């Protein structure tokens, strides 16, 4: 049974393989089609310019069944710009799915509860200062594998493309 | 863009390609910071290069991508989800096209850059499915 408490669990608790790791996705990028495998585009797990230290995700529930953050809270987080919040969705992947393909899930306490990083999927290796053809393509492959194992918790809403 | 089925007729094949071209032309609508995280817009030259890349694929009767969208560094990604479970990802960069394939078992294969690579390196199981759908097999009437 999942308990909602006012105090989220310790952000530094080791991440269990069975934990869901959530990420916000943009409607304009991530077409969602449950008939497809994977049902979403790999853009969901590609780094943005702000993912310098790794792909940013949030834990959902600890192994003591305490809630770090609900998908709704992640979607509506106060620091998210209104234009993104209105239309974004939330996807999740199990920590074990990331580890099985050789990725590292590292706790990284931040403003949102249960914040973690997948260090190997970072902006600098994808398109920044450290980028090589190999590092770039590896990240494409990892993103594709994560996408294949992802589930959609909140489908993205209507896009407001300008 | 979302395909409703695998192409079964030349008409559908060309309609899906037209849709892909439209989606590619629309990439110029992504203004700076379009992702809320300082993303770059897609340069016009790269949009033109993507259109050219697609034209090469269409001429080789390769199916249209299921989706075309920008990346935060101002490059372009095209995704193909083939019948049979094979997925192709092409990232069109300045001077290079990165191609990644996932076979139906989830294995990732990094392919060398190039148009013909996409056509040649499709998983045999997926090729069979595509042939069933006529994407590789149909011939155009004179």
List the domain range (segments joined by +) for residue A90.
20-154
Name the minimum distance, in Å, from the CA of A45 to any CA of chain B: 11
By C-alpha distance, the chain A residue nearest B99 is: A137
A100 part of a folded domain:
yes
B5 part of a folded domain:
no
Closest CB to B89 among A81, A134, A140: A140
Q: How much is the pLDDT for A121?
A: 98
Chain A neighbors of B108, CB-CB under 8 A:
141-142, 144-145
Q: How far apart are CA A145 and CA B102, in angstroms?
A: 8
A6 part of a folded domain:
no
Contact between A42 and B77 using a beta-carbon 8 Å cutoff: yes
- Chain A touched by B69 (CB under 8 Å): yes
Contact between A49 and B34 using a beta-carbon 8 Å cutoff: no
**CATH code for the domain of B108:** 3.10.450
Contact between A137 and B110 using a beta-carbon 8 Å cutoff: yes
Residues in contact with B78: Cβ distance below 8 Å, sequence separation at least 6, in sequence order: B20, B50, B54, B65, B67, B68, B89, B90, B92
A10 part of a folded domain:
no
Are the CB atoms for A51 and A139 separated by under 8 Å? no
List the domain range (segments joined by +) for residue B112.
10-132
pLDDT per position in chain B (142 positions), as tens?
545 445 567 889 999 999 999 999 999 999 999 888 899 999 999 999 899 889 888 888 889 999 999 999 999 999 998 887 888 899 988 878 888 988 888 889 887 766 566 666 665 655 554 444 333 322 222 2
Q: How much is the pLDDT for B81?
A: 87
- Chain A touched by B121 (CB under 8 Å): no
A139 part of a folded domain:
yes
- pTM listed for this prediction: 0.84
- Chain A touched by B2 (CB under 8 Å): yes
Residues in contact with B132: Cβ distance below 8 Å, sequence separation at least 6, in sequence order: B83
Domain count of the fold of chain A: 1
A3 part of a folded domain:
no
A141 part of a folded domain:
yes
Which residue, among A23, A139, A25, has the nearest Cα to A92 in the 3D structure?
A23
- Chain A touched by B117 (CB under 8 Å): no
Q: How far apart are CA A20 and CA A58, in angstroms?
A: 8
Contact between A46 and B36 using a beta-carbon 8 Å cutoff: no
Q: Which residues of chain A have pLDDT under 50?
A: 159-162
Name the minimum distance, in Å, from the CA of B4 to any CA of chain A: 10
A2 part of a folded domain:
no
Q: Is B103 exposed, middle or buried (0-12, 13-18, 19+ CB in 10 A)?
A: middle
Which helix H or strand E contains A134, and what residues bound it? helix A133-148
Helix ranges (DSSP H) in chain B: 10-25, 44-59, 115-120, 124-132
Q: How far apart are CA A141 and CA A138, in angstroms?
A: 5
Domain count of the fold of chain B: 1
Contact between A137 and B98 using a beta-carbon 8 Å cutoff: yes
B4 part of a folded domain:
no
Q: How far apart are CA B37 and CA A88, in angstroms?
A: 14
Contact between B81 and A36 using a beta-carbon 8 Å cutoff: yes
For residue B97, the tally of other CB atoms under 10 A from its CB is 21
- Chain A touched by B119 (CB under 8 Å): no
Q: How much is the pLDDT for B1?
A: 52
Chain A neighbors of B69, CB-CB under 8 A:
28-29, 41, 43
B124 part of a folded domain:
yes
A122 part of a folded domain:
yes
Mutate to test the interface with A, among B89, B93, B111, B114 (most CBs of A within 10 A): B89
């Amino acid at each position: 049974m999942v308990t909602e408490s006012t105090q989220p669990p310790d952000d530094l608790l080791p991440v269990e393989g069975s934990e869901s790791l959530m990420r916000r996705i943009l409607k304009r990028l991530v077409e969602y089609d449950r008939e497809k495998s994977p049902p979403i585009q790999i853009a969901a797990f590609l780094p943005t310019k702000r993912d310098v230290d790794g792909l940013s995700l949030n834990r959902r529930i600890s192994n003591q069944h305490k809630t770090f953050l609900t998908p709704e809270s992640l979607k509506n987080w106060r620091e998210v710009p209104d234009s993104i919040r209105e239309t974004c969705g939330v996807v999740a992947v199990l920590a074990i799915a990331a580890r099985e393909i050789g990725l590292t899930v590292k706790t990284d306490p931040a403003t949102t509860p249960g914040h973690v990083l997948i260090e190997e999927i970072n902006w600098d290796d994808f398109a920044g200062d450290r980028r090589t053809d190999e590092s770039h393509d590896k990240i494409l492959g990892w993103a594709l594998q994560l996408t294949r194992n992802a589930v959609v918790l909140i489908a993205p809403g209507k896009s407001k493309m300008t | 863009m979302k395909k409703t089925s695998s192409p079964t007729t030349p008409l559908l094949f060309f309609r899906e390609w037209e849709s892909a071209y439209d989606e590619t032309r629309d990439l110029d609508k992504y203004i700076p910071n379009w992702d809320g995280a300082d993303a770059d817009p897609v340069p016009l030259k790269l949009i033109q290069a993507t259109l050219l890349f697609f034209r090469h694929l269409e001429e080789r009767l390769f199916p249209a991508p299921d989706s075309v969208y920008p990346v935060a560094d101002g490059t372009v990604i095209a995704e193909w989800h083939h019948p049979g479970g094979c997925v192709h990802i092409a990232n069109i960069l300045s001077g290079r096209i990165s191609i990644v394939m996932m076979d139906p078992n989830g294995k990732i294969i990094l392919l060398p850059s190039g148009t013909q690579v996409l056509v040649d390196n499709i998983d045999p199981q997926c090729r069979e499915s595509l042939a069933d759908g006529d994407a590789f097999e149909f011939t155009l009437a004179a």
